[in-house]
């Protein structure tokens, strides 16, 4: 049985997006100024894909298939590579919906087009704007959350979502080896904060955290 993730139309699209992402260094205008706002950074890097790794995408698909969450939340849509993996799993589960958020209008438009091309737009809602605002409107319980936006924002976004996490919810923090994720990693690894957390060795790291409640 062919999964949605390996449907030729979906797989070809994902492979094409990964190929485009390999040119990120050519597109990158350089590191944003330390004083740049999130909006300024989003506009400056609107042509840069900044994708998850291929193994990370497969892991996300497997986690959603295993957990079968009714509500999946993603912080940091970009061009929708990770979103396509989440949506493919939701489609194959036959239940659930993905809500994802992105600050760059250019990336929102591209992600929506990619989801439409893949035939997965009906299981995904793409919200445009600041995640601390857009994700405040998402109802719970949230069964799985992927945090892959600006790294210094991952912990504030997690704290925003916490009250709506389902018991046993999985939270995935991408690029967990980055120094800018150190506060996030320290938080989820502290048992007093309600998580059991382990690192997973994909490119740049993924932190997998199970919400046990407090």
At 52 the pLDDT is 87
Report how far apart, in Å, the C-alpha atoms of 23 and of each of 33, 49, 137 are. 22, 9, 35
3-state secondary structure 90-125: HHHHCCCEEEEEECCHHHHHHHHHHHHHHCCHHHEE
Instruction: Provide the sign of the torsion angle of the four alpha carbons 58, 59, 63, 69, taken in this order.
Output: negative
Q: Is the pLDDT of residue 119 over 80?
A: yes
Q: What pLDDT band is residue 213 in, cutting at 50, 70 and 90? A: confident
Instruction: List phi, psi (to 5°) of 197.
Output: -135, 140
Write the DSSP string, the chain: ---GGGSHHHHHHHHHHHHHHTTHHHH---PPPTT--HHHHHHHTTT---PPPHHHHHHHHHHHHHH--SEEEEE--TTSHHHHHHHHHHHHHT--EEEEEES-HHHHHHHHHHHHHHT-GGGEEEEES-HHHHGGG--S-EEEEEE-S-GGGHHHHHHHHGGGEEEEEEEEEESTTSGGGHHHHHHHT-GGGTEEEEEE-STT-EEEEEE---
Task: Report pLDDT digits (tens) over 134-190.
Answer: 999 899 899 999 999 889 999 999 999 999 999 999 999 999 999 999 999 999 999
pTM of the predicted model as reported, rounded to 2 decimal places: 0.92
At 88 the pLDDT is 97
At 203 the pLDDT is 84
At 205 the pLDDT is 86
Q: Higher pLDDT residue, 22 or 42?
A: 22
Q: Which two tokens stand for residue 45?
A: 């890097």
The span from the CA of 158 to the CA of 175, in Å, is 15
Residue of 131, 128, 123, 141 lying closest to 67 (CA atoms)? 141
At 32 the pLDDT is 63
Q: Is the pLDDT of residue 39 over 80?
A: no
At 24 the pLDDT is 66
Q: Is the pLDDT of residue 127 over 90?
A: yes
Q: What pLDDT band is residue 209 in, cutting at 50, 70 and 90? A: very high
Task: Report pLDDT digits (tens) over 4-34.
Answer: 999 999 999 999 998 988 886 676 666 666 6
Task: Report pLDDT digits (tens) over 70-105.
Answer: 999 999 999 999 999 999 999 999 999 999 999 999
């Amino acid at each position: 049985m062919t999964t949605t993730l390996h449907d030729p139309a979906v797989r070809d699209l994902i492979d094409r997006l990964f190929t485009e992402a390999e040119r990120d260094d050519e597109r990158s205008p350089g590191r944003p100024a330390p004083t740049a706002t999130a909006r300024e950074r989003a506009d400056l890097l609107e042509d840069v894909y900044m994708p998850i790794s291929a193994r990370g995408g497969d892991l996300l698909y497997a986690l959603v298939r295993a957990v079968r969450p009714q509500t999946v939340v993603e912080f940091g849509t970009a061009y929708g590579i990770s979103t396509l993996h989440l949506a493919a799993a939701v489609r194959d589960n036959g239940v659930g919906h993905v809500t994802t958020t992105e600050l760059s209008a250019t990336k929102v438009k591209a992600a929506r087009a990619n989801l439409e091309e893949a035939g997965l737009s009906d299981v995904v809602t793409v919200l445009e704007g600041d995640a601390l605002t857009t994700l405040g409107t998402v109802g719970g319980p949230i069964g799985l959350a992927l945090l892959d936006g600006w790294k210094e924002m991952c912990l504030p976004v997690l704290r925003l979502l916490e009250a709506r996490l389902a018991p046993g919810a999985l939270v995935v923090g991408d690029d967990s080896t980055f120094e800018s994720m150190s506060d996030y990693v320290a938080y989820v690894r502290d048992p007093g904060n309600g998580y059991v957390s382990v690192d997973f060795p994909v490119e740049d790291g993924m932190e997998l955290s199970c919400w046990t409640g407090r």
